[in-house]
């Protein structure tokens, strides 16, 4: 089929009417589906149910004798540090384990930098003009943290090949106000890209105009393969060290999408100087994280192989959902020149681009027909997609049948809106 932008007006008109008719049919079905957020589905959570019961009544001591029921231990217990250090590819002394939210550690890291500055810096970032590079489309909650602290966000494009590393190098190298960059280096949210070795090396070694430049690196999907040959991410923590920039990186991770989304563990790897500074701020706000939940995770997963095995089971559940989205989009939209989409090897999202200026309208139409999608623009700083074209599809939570329905409807919405747009 020819691309819609090369069609005669009459033909487009016919397609528009046809699409509108199908949209109305969908609307009459009164669907009520929610594809807004990257939440695991119950079947994924069920896989970890043994974590609810894996501690026995006298099992509360860490291997170093710490009573996990009591106060203390800002670092986390040693066996949890060892396990998740291996998971992140860092040393056990390079990591601290936190509560149930890695967003919380990220927020705290930025907050501490604003209040006190970072090692090697000149003082509180709040006293300076601060900009963060925000590869976009990206993760809305990273951007919210910047917005909350009044940090100016600079969009760097996540294009068809992923991160625009040349642009990053140019901005980091020339502007001393650029103090940070948000990165999701593997199966990026939402585009699914994994950074190439060259990107990793350049991030680690590029000259920075700010002496206290930091990579806020959220390796959220490190083990989240979808069952095909997994992407390989070069060890960015080691790369920073090797480049002589050990303080440059905060590396975050969590088990939110491994064990329980609401009751997982979060962690951060960083240089000793960075960890010490972070803990000095953390000590103001807590006496220590929940160490019993660390023990649960260690008892349940045992080792890295246990985590990997667990993630294979998850992939079995969610891969058919990703496949269904891609298959239906292909069936309905391929070759029409009105949409493109990612087909990721892992992570939690499919990134979906429509014609410029159409994303908000597509999301609106879908909502009116009962399918809630992530707000258009959410994947960009300040919630504003400059091209109004990106939509984030989160296929994990709904059932396979719901995913199918939602994607069929989404396709129709795209046709309706695209035809209108092309008709002018």
Least spacing, CB of residue 399 vs a copy of itself, in Å = 14
Site string for a copy of itself, 140-179 (x = CB under 8 A): -x--xx--xx------------------------------
Please identify, using beta-carbon distances, which residue of 234 and 257 lies nearer to a copy of itself: 257
Among 20, 36, 235, 281, contact with a copy of itself (rule: CB under 8 A): 281
Least spacing, CB of residue 254 vs a copy of itself, in Å = 11
* Residue 382: partners with Cβ closer than 8 Å, 6 or more residues away: 143, 147, 153
Least spacing, CB of residue 267 vs a copy of itself, in Å = 15
Please identify, using beta-carbon distances, which residue of 60 and 337 lies nearer to a copy of itself: 60
Question: How far, in Å, CA of 133 to CA of 106, rounded?
Answer: 15
Looking at residues 184 to 243 of the shown chain, list those that interact with a copy of itself (rule: CB under 8 A). none
* Residue 137: partners with Cβ closer than 8 Å, 6 or more residues away: 158, 190, 191, 351, 379, 380, 385, 390, 392
Is 256 a binding residue for a copy of itself by CB under 8 A? The answer is yes
Question: How far, in Å, CA of 114 to CA of 112, rounded?
Answer: 5
Question: How far, in Å, CA of 321 to CA of 418, rounded?
Answer: 25
Beta bridge partners of residue 252, listed in sequence order:
218, 268
Least spacing, CB of residue 377 vs a copy of itself, in Å = 18
Question: How far, in Å, CA of 119 to CA of 121, rounded?
Answer: 5
3-class DSSP state for residue 386? coil
Least spacing, CB of residue 290 vs a copy of itself, in Å = 5
Neighbours of 356 (CB within 10 A): 12
* Residue 31: partners with Cβ closer than 8 Å, 6 or more residues away: 369, 370, 371, 405, 406, 409
Cis preceding linkage at 234, omega within 30: no
3-class DSSP state for residue 151? coil
Is 2 a binding residue for a copy of itself by CB under 8 A? The answer is no
* Residue 300: partners with Cβ closer than 8 Å, 6 or more residues away: 48, 50, 51, 54, 259, 306
Please identify, using beta-carbon distances, which residue of 2 and 287 lies nearer to a copy of itself: 287
Site string for a copy of itself, 357-396 (x = CB under 8 A): ----------------------------------------
Among 7, 12, 68, 156, contact with a copy of itself (rule: CB under 8 A): 68
Is 123 a binding residue for a copy of itself by CB under 8 A? The answer is no
φ and ψ at 182, to 5 degrees? -85, 135
Is 412 a binding residue for a copy of itself by CB under 8 A? The answer is no
Least spacing, CB of residue 75 vs a copy of itself, in Å = 13
The footprint of a copy of itself on this chain (CB under 8 A) covers a number of residues equal to 54
CB 367 within 8 A of CB 384: no
The CA-atom distances, in angstroms, between 162 and each of 32, 157, 192, 268, 371 are: 34, 8, 9, 24, 29
Site string for a copy of itself, 126-145 (x = CB under 8 A): ---------------x--xx
Please identify, using beta-carbon distances, which residue of 27 and 116 lies nearer to a copy of itself: 116
* Upper half-sphere CA count for residue 85 (Cβ side, 13 Å): 18
Question: How far, in Å, CA of 103 to CA of 101, rounded?
Answer: 5
Is 104 a binding residue for a copy of itself by CB under 8 A? The answer is yes
Site string for a copy of itself, 27-66 (x = CB under 8 A): ----------x-xx-x--x--xxx-xx-xxxxxx------
Among 29, 69, 313, 384, contact with a copy of itself (rule: CB under 8 A): 69
Please identify, using beta-carbon distances, which residue of 142 and 389 lies nearer to a copy of itself: 142
Is 103 a binding residue for a copy of itself by CB under 8 A? The answer is yes
Question: How far, in Å, CA of 129 to CA of 152, rounded?
Answer: 8
**Can you give the binding site for a copy of itself, defined by CB under 8 A?**
37, 39-40, 42, 45, 48-50, 52-53, 55-60, 67-73, 99-101, 103-104, 107-108, 111, 115, 141, 144-145, 148-149, 256, 260-263, 281, 283-293
């Amino acid at each position: 089929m020819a691309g819609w932008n090369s069609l005669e007006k009459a033909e487009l008109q016919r397609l528009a009417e046809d699409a509108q008719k199908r949209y109305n049919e969908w609307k009459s079905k009164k669907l009520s589906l929610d594809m807004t957020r990257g939440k695991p589905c119950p079947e994924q959570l069920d896989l970890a149910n043994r974590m609810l019961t894996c501690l026995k009544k006298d099992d509360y001591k860490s291997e170093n004798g710490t009573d996990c029921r009591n106060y203390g231990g800002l670092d986390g217990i040693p066996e949890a540090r060892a396990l998740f250090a291996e998971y992140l590819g860092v040393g056990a002394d390079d990591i601290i384990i936190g509560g149930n939210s890695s967003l919380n550690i990220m927020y705290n890291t930025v907050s501490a930098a604003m209040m006190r500055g970072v090692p090697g810096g000149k003082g509180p970032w709040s006293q300076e003009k601060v900009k963060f590079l925000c590869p976009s489309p990206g993760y809305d909650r990273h951007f919210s943290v910047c917005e909350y602290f009044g940090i100016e966000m600079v969009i760097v494009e996540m294009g068809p090949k992923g991160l625009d590393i040349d642009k990053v190098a140019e901005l980091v190298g020339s502007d001393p106000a650029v103090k940070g960059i948000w990165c999701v280096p593997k199966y990026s949210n939402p585009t699914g890209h994994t950074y190439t070795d060259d990107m990793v090396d350049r991030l680690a070694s590029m000259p920075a105009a700010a002496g206290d430049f930091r990579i806020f690196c959220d390796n959220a999907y490190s083990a989240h393969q979808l069952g095909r040959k997994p992407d390989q991410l070069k060890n960015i923590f080691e790369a920073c060290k090797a480049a002589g920039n050990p303080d440059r990186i905060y590396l975050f991770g969590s088990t939110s999408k491994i064990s329980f989304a609401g009751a997982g563990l979060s962690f951060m790897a960083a240089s000793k100087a960075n960890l010490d500074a972070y803990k000095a701020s953390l000590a103001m706000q807590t006496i220590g994280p929940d160490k019993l939940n660390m023990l649960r995770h260690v008892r349940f997963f045992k080792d890295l192989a246990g985590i990997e095995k667990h993630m294979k089971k998850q992939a079995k559940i969610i891969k058919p959902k990703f496949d269904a989205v891609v298959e239906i989009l292909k069936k309905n939209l391929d070759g029409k020149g009105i949409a493109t989409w990612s087909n990721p090897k892992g992570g939690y999202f499919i990134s979906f681009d429509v014609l410029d200026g159409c994303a908000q309208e597509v999301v609106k139409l879908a909502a009116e027909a009962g399918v809630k999608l992530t707000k258009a623009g959410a994947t960009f700083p300040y919630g504003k997609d400059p091209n109004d074209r990106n939509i984030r599809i989160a296929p994990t939570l709904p059932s396979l049948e719901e995913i199918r329905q939602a994607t069929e409807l989404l396709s129709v919405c795209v046709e309706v809106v695209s035809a209108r747009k092309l008709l002018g």
